[in-house]
A = this chain, B = another copy of it.
Amino acid sequence: MNYRIDNLQYCNWEREIFEINHEAGLNAVHVTVVYHEDFDEFLKRTSEWNKHFEENSDLIFLGKSYKDIEKAKLENKTAIFFGFQNCSPIEDDINLVEKVHEHGCLFMQLTYNNQSLLATGCYEKNDSGVTNFGREAIKEMNRVGIVIDMSHSAEKSTLDAIEISEKPIVITHANPFFWYNAKRNKSNVLLKTLADSGGMLGLSLYAHHLKDSSNCSLESFCEMTAKTADLIGVKNIGIGSDLCLNHPNSVVEWMRNGTWTKTKNYG
């Protein structure tokens, strides 16, 4: 059976968005529930989601395993899979990896754009790779069943994660560097290593990752997709739209800046 999956969305969630995803025929969406939140703040996000699931049970439900994608298709709904764009909810505590999984987390980026306790982000000047704590966290994520997502990580850190992880990792939302030279896009070497290890790349529709930004043509995007398929095989490719609907600018700024700088600094 074939499924329609969006590997990354972060919207200002409300019924209207779930209807858009339903009309698009999406069986599954990996949603960002956390950017920079700590563990307690993550729990608040899950409470908000519980309300969404209650009020929109005709459209969505919480996905807990791949079988829920099939279930979603049969029931004409969208399975929602929780993921983090930063590792902040596990704070500095290895035991929180299992706790966040118990609360539905199935994907976690080891870094957002900056250095984290686990690895280096793609906006840092130097990349020291996966840290001591990062090695322990990867082992624990493998054990409990959280997928390692390196979309916002630097190259050496990503190669380290592929090597250390006993399970395939993912880059849910980014494009190839050969098509558009952005810090967030990925080199051929990295993409091949990712694919050889069984991992996947979700191609992104976010303007900053696109050649010609918002003016990117469908033809150009499809050409890039075909070349990427030639490079790493079609089975390793998906779509991670990075759809970001109805958020005010203040939320977009917080995504990029977090609370680590007093001035506007997108890295």
**Contacting pair A94 B262 (CB below 8 A):** yes
Chain B, residue nearest A115 (CB): B131
In the complex the two chains form, is B116's CB within 8 Å of A117's CB? Answer: yes
Q: Does A250 reach chain B (CB closer than 8 Å)?
A: no
Is A95 interfacial (CB-CB < 8 Å)?
yes
Sort A-B residue pairs by CB-CB distance and give the 8 closest, nearest first: A128-B128, A126-B128, A115-B131, A133-B260, A93-B259, A136-B261, A114-B132, A126-B129
A140 adjacent to chain B (CB < 8 Å): yes
Shortest Cβ distance from A132 into B: residue: B114
A40-92: which have CB < 8 Å to B? 88, 91-92
Q: Taking the full assembly, how many copies of this chain does it contain? A: 2
Task: Return chain B residues, CB-CB under 8 Å to A128.
Answer: 115, 120, 124-128
Q: Contact at B38–A259, with CB atoms within 8 Å?
A: no
A40 CB → nearest B CB, Å: 10
7 A-B pairs in the complex with CB atoms less than 8 angstroms apart: A115-B117, A116-B117, A117-B260, A132-B265, A133-B261, A136-B261, A140-B262
Q: Does A168 contact B (CB under 8 A)?
A: no
- A173 in the interface, Cβ–Cβ < 8 Å? no
Using a CB–CB cutoff of 8 Å, the interface residues on chain A facing chain B are 36, 38, 88, 91-95, 114-117, 120, 123-129, 131-134, 136, 140, 258-262, 265, 267
Which residues of B lie under 8 Å from residue A133 when comparing CB positions? 114-115, 260-261
Q: Which of A36, A88, A120, A259 has the most CB of B within 10 A?
A: A259
Q: Which of A94, A132, A136 has the most CB of B within 10 A?
A: A132
Interface residues of A, dominant DSSP: loop
Other A-B contacts than A92-B260, A124-B128, 7 sampled, CB-CB below 8 A, are A93-B260, A114-B117, A117-B117, A120-B128, A125-B129, A126-B128, A132-B267
Closest partner residue, chain B, to A140 (CB atom): B262
User: How distant is A48 from chain B, measured CB to nearest CB, in Å?
Assistant: 21
Contacts of A125 in B (CB 8 A): 128-129, 132
Q: How far is the CA of A87 from the CA of B194 in the complex (A)?
A: 34
Residue in B closest to A139 when the chains form the complex, CB atoms: B262
Which residue of chain B lies nearest to A121 when distances are taken between CB atoms in the complex? Answer: B132
